[in-house]
Amino acid sequence: MNKAFASTTGLTLLDTNKNESCFITSSSNSGIMPFGVKLAALADTDTTDLVDTDLMDSVADEDWTLATGVLVSSNDLTFTAAPGAADSYYSVSVNTGDVIAITFTVESYSAGGVGIYLSGDVDGGVTGYETENGTYTYYFVSAGASVVVRFRTNGITTLDVTNISVKRADADRSVNGNHLP
Amino acid sequence: MVYQWRTGNGPVFHGYWLGSGLVDRNTDVDYDGISSRGFILSDTVNDIALTALDDAPIDPRTGLKAVTAAVATNGDATYSTSLIKNIGLPEEVVYDIASDSTGTAVSVSFDGQELTVVRSDGTVYVWHDVSQINADGVAPDLTYSASSDPALLGTVSKVVSL
């Protein structure tokens, strides 16, 4: 950098030999940017600031509609020899076009399987059934102002579903398409 | 040539102007010492910077190169900055530069032969080689502002030395 200019907003650094600039304020630093770039911002934040409220926070146990053989406690589901092709579900309010990230953990797996079917999903259809313990995340795009999150069994199912999280996510326009939950 | 003296604290000078020859040697002529040729643009000075140009003549009194000064002023509604080259020598000359149509000059800085002037609206002018400035109103080589490319952050008010 060979030039520096001060304002009440902050400091501008220029390298007129390399055609690079940098903006520095009391709380941020743009890093070195090629001329022509108006802003390459580094936010003073962490990942918790980048996600929406967990929509599960507003879901009470009594909001669930449970299938036979399924119990709920603090939004944790217990499947005990639950019949197959049965849904346990609840409804949440979203915005049309929202990308929704649903994460849940399968514990104490014994039999059957469980998958998510999101009524109101643009693409529709049930996800693959989870048949072993683990944490799983699926993304959906809302087709309306509300969606019904359904945990659907596959065969006689015995397992627990815990740590259910439903969040609006930023639409991912990157090549990898992994979204930002 | 002018013989001058100042009256009071204002910018008005009295002098004997000999530009028309010795016939005027005893003619007292009042003139505005600020706006007249050879003086800086305004008596309100906001910043000053000094340098010695590569081609500056040697001051025989010091044996050093003559000093060149850039003076940021409130301007005269046309220019805002006075460039005084070869101070104290017969070769001393003053040029008026840096448009002040929307603001006065608030900061000046030399980096070798390169002069940077900051106008009060945040516009920054750069002359790469002030030794090449030999007239009033010489356009800057570069102009930066909040809307230029590269853009400056906010309304710049000062050149910072690196």
Q: Which positions in chain A touch B118 (Cβ < 8 Å)? A: 5
Q: Which two tokens stand for residue A10?
A: 């902050």
B155–A3 C-beta distance less than 8 A: no
Average per-residue pLDDT for chain A: 85
A6–B160 C-beta distance less than 8 A: yes
Q: Chain B residue with minimal CA distance to A18? A: B150
Q: What is the pLDDT of residues B123-135, one digit of tens each?
A: 999 999 999 999 9
**Torsion angles phi and psi, residue B132, rounded to 5:** -90, -5
Cα A126 versus chain centre, distance: 18
**Confidence check: pLDDT of B96 > 80:** yes
Q: With beta carbons less than 8 A apart as the criterion, state whether A141 and A122 touch.
A: yes
Of B65, B59, B55, B135, the closest CA to residue B95 belongs to: B135
Instruction: Assess B156–A contact: CB distance below 8 Å, yes or no.
Output: yes
Neighbour count for residue A89 (Cβ, 10 Å): 19
CB neighbour list of residue A83: distance below 8 Å, 6 or more residues apart:
A67, A68, A69, A153, A156
How far apart (Å, rounded) are the C-alpha atoms in residues A95 and A142? 7
Q: Which positions in chain B touch A14 (Cβ < 8 Å)? A: 144, 150
* Closest Cβ opposite residue B153 in set A19, A23, A36: A23
How far apart (Å, rounded) are the C-alpha atoms in residues B46 and A53? 53
Which among A50-54, A90-94, B112-116, B146-150 has the top mean pLDDT? B112-116
* Separation in Å, CA of A1 to nearest CA in chain B: 8
Which among A24-28, B64-68, B85-89 has the top mean pLDDT? B64-68
**Confidence check: pLDDT of B21 > 80:** no
* Closest Cβ opposite residue A7 in set B111, B116, B156: B156
CB neighbour list of residue B35: distance below 8 Å, 6 or more residues apart:
B41, B76
Which among A37-46, A147-156, B29-38 has the top mean pLDDT? A147-156
Q: What is the pLDDT of residues A74-111, one digit of tens each?
A: 889 999 999 999 999 999 888 888 888 899 999 999 99
Q: With beta carbons less than 8 A apart as the criterion, state whether B96 and B104 touch.
A: no
B161–A11 C-beta distance less than 8 A: no
Cβ contacts below 8 Å, chain A against chain B, sum to 60
How far apart (Å, rounded) are the C-alpha atoms in residues B47 and B104? 11
Q: Which positions in chain A touch B155 (Cβ < 8 Å)? A: 7-9
Q: With beta carbons less than 8 A apart as the criterion, state whether A89 and A118 touch.
A: no
How far apart (Å, rounded) are the C-alpha atoms in residues A152 and A67? 9
Residue A171: what residue type?
Answer: A
What sign does the dihedral B30-B31-B37-B43 (CA atoms) show? positive
Instruction: Assess B49–A contact: CB distance below 8 Å, yes or no.
Output: no
Q: What ipTM was estimated for this complex? A: 0.72
**Confidence check: pLDDT of B37 > 50:** no
